[in-house]
Structure 1
C-alpha cells in the first residue's frame, strides 16, 4: 500500500480533491505594441515544449512582455495532443529568474495614480500566469538553475517538478524592498515544516544548492551538467492515450530521478539541528513582538555561541526591514495556511495593490536598486519596535474588495498541493509514522527509504528530523517529542 494511504497527514488530505484547470480562458492575453522581441524563446522537440526566459544580462527578470508571450503558449499546449511535457528555464549561466522587474514598477509608482495602476495591472497579469501554472493540466518542469527569486519563484514553486542544482539560489527578498512575499508564497511557505516558511518570509534568507532540495522547495536535485541530457530524455518520452495524468507524472518523476547524480558530501544541511530548533522556537511565536522577544532571549541567554550569533544577526536583519512589510508578512503567513490556491492569488493581488499605493515599496526599491545607498526611509512607524498596535497597521492590507477581485484564467483550485508526493518526506509525514508507535528509529528511516524507492536525500532528511523530534522508549520503539 502506498505511503499516501497509510500515513496521510490531515495537512495533505486535500490533495485528492484538487480541481485542476477546466475552463477555457475567457480573457485573451496577447502581446502589445512595444513588447520586447525575443525576451522569451520557445522550442519544440518531439513531445517537449520549452520556455526559456531570455534576458540573461539582467538575470532573466520577469516583465509584462514576457508574461504576454508565455500565457497563450501554455494555453495552446494545454489543448495540444502533441505536447507531452513543458519545461521552463532561464538563459545564461547565472539565473533561472531573479525576480520581477520591480525597478520599472517603482518608477511607475512615482508618477502618481496612473502609474500605480499600471503596477497593479502588472501584478494581476503575473498572478494569472502563476495560477495557470499552479493548476496546469500538462506535466510542467521548472529548472531552478541559478538565481530563483521573487517572480522566478512564482514560475517554479507551484510546479509538480522543481529541479535544483548546485547553482540554485532561492530567496523571497520582498521585505528588503518594503513589499511582501507574493507569487503564491502565502500558500507555499506556511505549509513548510515547522516555522521555516515564516523564517524565510520575514528574513529573506537565501538557500543555496542542495539546501533548496533538503528544505522541500525543490523536488529533485541534479548537477547542472546533466540538464541538457535530461531535457533530451524528456522529449523522447512516449505516453499512451489512456495514461492518466498521474501515470504520466510518475513516469516523468522516475525519468528525472535517473539523472540524479548524488548529493554533495561536503555540505551539511543548513536548516537542521540547533539552527532549526532556534528557527522553530523564535519564528513559531504568535506575534512579531514574540519573535523579537525570543531572539533577544537567545542573544542574552543562549548556551551555544552560534545560537546567540544567529539571533543577533537575525534581529538586526529584521530591524532593517520595513516595519509595515514585516507585520503584513507575519499576518499573511498566519492567514495563508487556510487559503486555497485561487484565493491565494486573489488575496495577494489586493495586498499588492495596497503596497503600490504605500510609500515603503517605492522607497525600498529606490534605496536598494536605484539610489543603491541601502538606507531606506520607511514610513511611520519607521522602527519595528515602534509598532504598538499591529492590527491597526495590518488590517487595511487584508480588507477584501469584492468588486476588485482578480479574475483568474481558469477555475482550477485546491487547498493542498496535489503533487506533493514527488518531493522529500514532509516532517508531518515522519511524525505520523512515528506516532503509530510500532517502529524503532532505524525502522522509520528504512520505511521512508523504501517508500521513496531509494530517492536521494530521504535518509538524510528523515534522520535529521528524528534526531530533533524523536526518542526511543521502552522496547526500543520511536516516540515523538512535543514542541
Structure 2
C-alpha cells in the first residue's frame, strides 16, 4: 500500500517479549531503512507508525531521528491538529530500544562504543522530552507490547490508550540498567508505591490493568483503533481553542468507542496486594524493602496469596542487578522532586555511567542476545556490596554529560494535563468532608451526562481499601499513602 494511502494499523496480539535484538552492529547504523517508521496525513490527523514488526518495533536511532524531525515540523504546521503514534505488525507497539545493539557496540569498540551508545540515549531522551512538552494533542496507541523505550514514546502523552492486547513493563533492572525514558518522572507519580514496585521488579501489566494503574488514560477494544483514527480525523478545532479544550474534545471522541471493561480481568494492583506494595516499597533502602518482604512472607495473619506474593517478589529481586536496584530506588525517590527537564538530563548522565558499568553488557548479553535462563553475573554480586558511594556516582554528575533539550522553556513538576481515572487524593478529599456513604460518593466522580469508563470500579476499590464506616454507615478515611 502506498505510504500516502496507509492508515495506522493496530497491532495484533502475540506472545510477550521484553526487547528486540539486532543481528549486526557497528559504530554506524548497520543499514538505513527508509520505511522503519511511516508517516501519514488524514485531514488534520498525523500518524506515526513504527514499522519494524520483525523486531517488535524496537526503536533505533534512524527511527528516533525521523520522528523527532517530523514532530517539530508538525508542531509548526497549522494543518496538523492531532498526532497519533502506533506500531505495525502482529505483536507490539514498541518493545523497547535496541539495547542489544548498544551492548554489542560497547563490547566491540570500547570507550568509543560507549560514547556512541550514550549519544543514542541523548537522541532518544530529546525525542521523549519533546513528546512530554508537545503543544498539540498527542495520542499513543499502546496496543501490544509496550516496554522500555516504547514506554518513553507513550507515557508522556496526555492521552494513552490501552487495549486488551497491551503488555506494559519497565524491564531494565533485569539487564543491569535503570528505568529511563523519563521513568524518573512518570513512575514516582503513579499512586502510592506502584511506580517503585514496577521499576524494581519489572512486573507486567496486561490489558485493562495498565488503565487501572494509571499507565494508560483510556481503554478501548483494539478493533476500534482504526475507526477511532478516522473519527479523530473529522475533528475541526477552532483557532482560539487551547490545549485543554482540544484534549477534552479528543477524550469525548474516544468515549464514543467505549464498549465497557472486561469482566474477566479484575484489578490487579488493588485490595490487599496494593496495601502490601505500599507497605513494602515505601522504604528508601533496598535492604529495608527486603526485610519488609520477608516479614510479609512470615506473617501468618496475612492472606496466603500475599505471603506467596512476597516470596515470589523476593525471588524476583534476587535475580536483578544489585547496582540497578539501588540506583533505581534512589532514582524513584529523587525523581519525585525533579522537573521533566531535570529528569531527562539526570537520566542522560545515569545512562552514560551504565554504559561503562559491567552489569549492562552482562545483563543484555545473557537476557537478550544469548537468552540464557541463568541469572547474569552481576558485579558487585550482592546488595551489601553496592556502597552508597557507588550509587551516588550515578547522580553526582556536575555537568559531566550536558544535554540540550528541544523545548527547554517548557518545564513542569506535574503533568499539565490530568487525564485518565480519578486520583485517590481526590476521593480522599470528598470522603473527608464527612456525612456520606459509598452510594453518595461514587456518583460525584462521574462526568456530567453519563458514566466515565472505570470510574465506578476505581472509586469502589479505593473506598474499600481506605475507609471504615461509623455507626451511621458514613465513610471514615483511615489511611493509605495518597
Q: TM-score, normalised by structure 1?
A: 0.90
Q: What is the alpha-carbon root mean square deviation over aligned residues?
A: 1.6
Report whether the alignment pairs 1:440 with 2:434. Answer: no
For residues 290 and 33 of structure 1, the distance between their equivalents in structure 2, rounded to whole angstroms, comes to 45
Corresponding residue for residue 352 of structure 1: 351
Per-residue deviation, 1:85: 0.4
What whole-Å deviation, never above 9, does each CA across 1:428-460 have from its counterpart, x for those lacking one? 221222222243222221111246951110100
Aligned with residue 391 of structure 1, among 388, 397, 409: 388
- Alignment check: 8 A CA contact 2:349 2:400 kept: no
For residues 163 and 357 of structure 2, the distance between their equivalents in structure 1, rounded to whole angstroms, comes to 37
Corresponding residue for residue 368 of structure 1: 367
Counterparts of residues 219-234 of structure 1 (less than 5 Å): 219-234=217-232
Distance 1:90 1:346, change over 3 A: same
- Alignment check: 8 A CA contact 1:128 1:408 kept: yes
Corresponding residue for residue 317 of structure 2: 318
Corresponding residue for residue 208 of structure 2: 210
For residues 336 and 443 of structure 1, the distance between their equivalents in structure 2, rounded to whole angstroms, comes to 37
**Does the residue aligned with 2:265 lie in a helix, a strand or coil?**
coil
Corresponding residue for residue 88 of structure 2: 91
Aligned with residue 153 of structure 2, among 132, 152, 155: 155
- Alignment check: 8 A CA contact 1:363 1:376 kept: no
Corresponding residue for residue 24 of structure 1: none
What whole-Å deviation, never above 9, does each CA across 1:316-375 have from its counterpart, x for those lacking one? 000000000000000000000000001000001000110001010110000011122233
Larger RCO (CA under 8 A, 6+ residues apart): 1
Per-residue deviation, 1:475: 4.0
**Does the residue aligned with 2:124 lie in a helix, a strand or coil?**
helix
- Alignment check: 8 A CA contact 2:49 2:86 kept: yes
Corresponding residue for residue 245 of structure 1: 243
Distance 1:461 1:452, change over 3 A: farther
Counterparts of residues 129-144 of structure 1 (less than 5 Å): 129-144=127-142
What whole-Å deviation, never above 9, does each CA across 1:275-294 have from its counterpart, x for those lacking one? 11111111112321111011
- Alignment check: 8 A CA contact 1:55 1:61 kept: yes
For residues 456 and 95 of structure 1, the distance between their equivalents in structure 2, rounded to whole angstroms, comes to 25
- Alignment check: 8 A CA contact 1:193 1:428 kept: no
Counterparts of residues 327-338 of structure 1 (less than 5 Å): 327-338=326-337
Distance 1:77 1:372, change over 3 A: same
What whole-Å deviation, never above 9, does each CA across 1:173-203 have from its counterpart, x for those lacking one? 0000000000011111111111111100000
**Does the residue aligned with 2:153 lie in a helix, a strand or coil?**
helix
Aligned with residue 46 of structure 1, among 38, 43, 46: 43
**Does the residue aligned with 1:75 lie in a helix, a strand or coil?**
helix
What whole-Å deviation, never above 9, does each CA across 1:109-153 have from its counterpart, x for those lacking one? 112000000100000000000000000001100000000000000
Structure 1 segments of 4+ aligned residues over 4 angstroms from their partners: 31-34, 450-453
- Alignment check: 8 A CA contact 1:119 1:356 kept: yes
What whole-Å deviation, never above 9, does each CA across 1:47-87 have from its counterpart, x for those lacking one? 01000000001110001000111011100100111001000
Aligned with residue 194 of structure 1, among 192, 195, 200: 192
Unaligned runs of 5+ in 2: 1-27
For residues 275 and 449 of structure 2, the distance between their equivalents in structure 1, rounded to whole angstroms, comes to 26
**Does the residue aligned with 2:425 lie in a helix, a strand or coil?**
helix
Corresponding residue for residue 162 of structure 2: 164
Corresponding residue for residue 143 of structure 2: 145
User: Quick check: 288-297 or 369-378, which moved more?
Assistant: 369-378
Per-residue deviation, 1:249: 1.1
Corresponding residue for residue 81 of structure 1: 78
More helix by share: 1
For residues 242 and 367 of structure 1, the distance between their equivalents in structure 2, rounded to whole angstroms, comes to 54
Matched pairs, number: 450
